[in-house]
């Protein structure tokens, strides 16, 4: 049974890391869309809608992602939707990511001084125009660093999809361990691969933060 | 949708649920105390320690922050025994949670210490306190007061993240969920109920710690 070389194992893990990358991208793009949409609603809609959006991010941030995945995987079939681990993981991680991003981005929008809104309003812009043309370009600058930083958390959270049977990097590591009984080497390699994916993002987010700090100091 | 919800028989598993809550809170509590203490010591070493130690701690922090908790847990539970380090599932969960929390706590506490104005330290020295006393009695309390909210939300993340320790058969709240739904086949209701328990625990714990924080750090408001 032990005729796998280290290279064979690394290759298998590397191939499965594709699915981690893909799932992270789905979660991030989907979560970005959800977060963006909710942000606009949060800034424009009535008190009731705002309260609902607050409740949504409170629930997704206050409960374990693992539970959310279980609910997605076992809950959606109850609604008559046939789900694969793929679909359950994608939907759940999208909602999870959206719940955090809406909060992060809202903080960035709120960091823009009130006077900017008022100045834009005094130029005769509609609420939508104020947000799109004046506030958002400024907020986006502040938002890039924390958003890239949060992407690290998204990549790490995809590891939980392994528990509902989605074969990504962590799951591949467990399966390989069961086949070749070398958990120390395999989990070290799994960790190294995650590190290789996450560290550049962490580093880039830090560079952005420093740049922004310099810009604010000027 | 014609699904009829039925939460009625969850009550007969009250003891299983209670045990799960106790284990989850216990793991969180112990790793918070240990991880917090390591965080303070680590932060002091990062700021004052020898260069090689600083480098080592920085590497440890990067490693933990850029890998998923579940991989750290599996590494501790499945990987370490092949080096001859055997431990039970509770110990493994505690070790992984503490090591994880400490990495974040060091960063947070370090930021807090750096936020305390240097004049505070100098003033303490001029009053005749030793460097160590100045750090312990003047700088550290202010630093902790400043970063208490950040530390608290990190503890919340660790508590919610601890749901995965059920995967190495620690009998926490998530384990209870899986146990119950394998008995009564009402998985949806069961997961909803347990998710709600986690949410309530998170909200109550935040309230409690905020109250504790404002009592503990009264007079430190800057």
Instruction: Dig out the tokens for A12 from the structure.
Output: 């298998």
Determine the pLDDT at residue B129.
Answer: 93
Please report, for the domain that includes residue A49, its CATH number.
1.10.3720.10
Contacts of B156 in chain A (CB under 8 A): 62
**Interface contact B167, partner A, CB < 8 A:** yes
Task: Write down the residue that tokens 């830090």 correspond to.
Answer: A206
In a domain, A168, yes or no: yes
Residues 6+ apart with CB under 8 A from A129: A120
In a domain, A209, yes or no: yes
Question: A201-206 — which CB contacts under 8 Å span 24+ positions?
Answer: A201/A148, A201/A149, A201/A151, A201/A152, A201/A155, A202/A149, A202/A152, A202/B62, A202/B65, A202/B66, A204/A148, A205/A145, A205/A146, A205/A148, A205/A149, A205/A151, A205/A152, A206/A145
- CA nearest A78 in B: which residue? B3
Q: Which domain holds residue A135?
A: 6-217
Read off the pLDDT of each residue in B110-126 and give the average, rounded to a whole number.
93
H runs (alpha helix) in chain B: 14-48, 51-65, 69-74, 89-115, 118-126, 131-133, 140-161, 173-184, 187-216
Handedness of CA A103, A33, B65, A88 (dihedral sign): positive
In a domain, A1, yes or no: no
CA distances from A143 to A45, A57, A135 (A): 22, 18, 12
What is the full per-residue pLDDT of chain A (218 aa) written as tens digits?
456 788 888 888 999 999 999 999 999 999 999 999 999 998 888 889 999 999 999 999 999 999 999 999 987 787 778 888 899 999 999 999 999 999 999 999 999 999 999 999 999 999 889 988 999 999 988 899 999 999 999 999 999 999 998 999 999 999 999 888 889 999 999 999 999 999 999 999 999 988 887 776 65
Higher pLDDT, A4 or B123: B123
CB pairs A-B closer than 8 Å = 122
Angle between helices B187-216 and B140-161 (to 10 degrees): 170
Least confident of A117-131, B3-17, B115-129: B3-17
Determine the pLDDT at residue A36.
Answer: 94
**Interface contact B161, partner A, CB < 8 A:** yes
Exposed/middle/buried for B158, CB within 10 Å: 0-12, 13-18, 19+?
buried
Higher pLDDT, B58 or A181: B58
ipTM score: 0.89
**Interface contact B164, partner A, CB < 8 A:** yes
Spacing of C-alpha A108 from chain mean position: 17
Q: What is the rounded CA–CA span in Å between residue A57 and residue A99? A: 4
Determine the pLDDT at residue B2.
Answer: 62
Give residues 39 to 78 of B whose Cβ lies within 8 Å of A.
Answer: 62-63, 65-72, 74-75, 78
CB atoms A173 and B67 under 8 Å: no
Higher pLDDT, B4 or B150: B150
Q: Which helix (H) or strand (E) holds A142?
A: helix A136-157
Determine the pLDDT at residue B215.
Answer: 78
Residues 6+ apart with CB under 8 A from A206: A145
- CATH architecture for segment(s) B8-216: Orthogonal Bundle (1.10)
CA B77-A9-B64 angle, to 5 degrees, is 45
Centre a 10 Å sphere on the Cβ of residue A55 and count the other Cβ atoms it contains.
Answer: 10
What are the sequence ranges of the domains in chain B? 8-216
**Interface contact B198, partner A, CB < 8 A:** yes
**Total tally of structural domains belonging to chain A:** 1
């Amino acid at each position: 049974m032990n005729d796998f070389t280290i290279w064979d194992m690394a290759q298998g893990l590397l191939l499965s890391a594709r699915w981690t990358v893909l799932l992270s991208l789905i979660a991030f793009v989907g979560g970005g869309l959800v977060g963006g949409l909710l942000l606009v609603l949060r800034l424009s809609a009535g008190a009731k809608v705002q309260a609902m959006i607050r409740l949504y991010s409170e629930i997704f941030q206050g409960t374990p992602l693992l539970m959310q995945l279980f609910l997605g995987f076992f809950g959606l079939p109850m609604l008559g939707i046939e789900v694969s681990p793929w679909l359950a993981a994608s939907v759940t991680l999208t909602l999870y990511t959206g719940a955090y991003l809406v909060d992060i981005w809202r903080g960035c929008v709120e960091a823009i001084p009130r006077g900017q809104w008022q100045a834009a309003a005094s130029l005769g812009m509609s609420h939508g125009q104020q947000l799109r043309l004046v506030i958002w370009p400024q907020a986006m600058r502040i938002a890039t660093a924390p958003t890239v930083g949060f992407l690290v958390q998204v990549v790490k959270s995809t590891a939980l999809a392994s528990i509902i049977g989605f074969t990504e990097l962590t799951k591949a590591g467990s399966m390989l361990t069961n086949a070749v009984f070398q958990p120390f080497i395999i989990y070290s390699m799994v960790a190294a691969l995650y590190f290789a994916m996450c560290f550049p993002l962490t580093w880039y987010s830090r560079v952005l933060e420093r740049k922004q700090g310099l810009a604010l100091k000027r | 949708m014609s699904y009829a919800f039925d939460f009625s028989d969850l009550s007969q598993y009250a003891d299983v649920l209670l045990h799960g809550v106790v284990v989850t809170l216990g793991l969180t509590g112990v790793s918070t105390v240990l991880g917090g203490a390591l965080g303070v010591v680590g932060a002091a070493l990062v700021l004052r320690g020898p260069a090689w130690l600083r480098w080592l701690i920085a590497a440890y922090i990067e490693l933990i922050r850029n890998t998923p908790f579940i991989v750290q847990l599996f590494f501790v539970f499945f990987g370490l025994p092949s080096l001859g380090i055997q431990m039970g599932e509770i110990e493994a969960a505690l070790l992984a949670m503490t090591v994880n929390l400490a990495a974040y706590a060091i960063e947070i506490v370090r930021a807090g210490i750096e936020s305390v104005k240097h004049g505070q330290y100098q003033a303490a020295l001029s009053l005749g306190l030793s460097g160590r006393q100045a750090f312990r009695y003047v700088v550290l309390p202010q630093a902790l007061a400043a970063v208490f909210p950040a530390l608290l939300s990190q503890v919340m993340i660790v508590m919610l993240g601890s749901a995965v320790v059920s995967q190495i058969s620690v009998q926490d709240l998530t384990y209870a969920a899986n146990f119950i739904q394998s008995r009564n086949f009402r998985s949806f209701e069961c997961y909803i109920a347990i998710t709600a328990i986690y949410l309530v625990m998170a909200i109550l714990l935040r309230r409690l710690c905020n109250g504790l924080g404002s009592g503990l750090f009264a007079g430190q408001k800057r």
